[in-house]
Amino acid sequence: KPPSSAATRVVAAGAAVGVWQRHGGRQTGPSATRGARGVKIYTRTGDKGKSSLFSGERRPKNDPVFEALGAIDELCAQLGVAVDSLPDGSNDPLAQRLLEVQARLFDV
């Protein structure tokens, strides 16, 4: 079955966040990677042990806020998979509720 629009949105959102892997307890990743739409994602500031929030505030990469954002991203992906696995897809009433929860999590 082709991916639903919800699943497509989850993939695009995940790609927009960046492609980072946990490796030995620290985060590593390329300085530039291509997202879902082919847009390059750069750090632009080099690796000085800090990352930026959407607000522009710089925090240490081991700040709990980044762990929380990663957990929210993973939850949103799982919600997209759950919606995609429903027999009626996004027309199912449960799917509508899950998509609402997912949208609220994206606002975090």
State the pLDDT confidence band at 97, using cuts at 50, 70 and 90: very high
71: number of CA atoms within 13 Å, CB side?
5
The structure's pTM equals 0.54
Which residues in 68-87 are b (16+ Cβ under 10 Å) and which e? ebeeebeebbebbeebbebe
pLDDT (tens digit, 9 = 90+) per residue, 67-76?
999 999 999 9
Residue 89 is given by DSSP the state: G
Q: Is 17 exposed, middle or buried (0-12, 13-18, 19+ CB in 10 A)?
A: middle
Instruction: Give the mean model confidence (pLDDT) for residues 41-60.
Output: 79
Quote the Cα angle for 4-71-29, to 5°. Answer: 90
Per the structure block, which two tokens stand in for 103?
Answer: 């949208």
State the pLDDT confidence band at 16, using cuts at 50, 70 and 90: very low
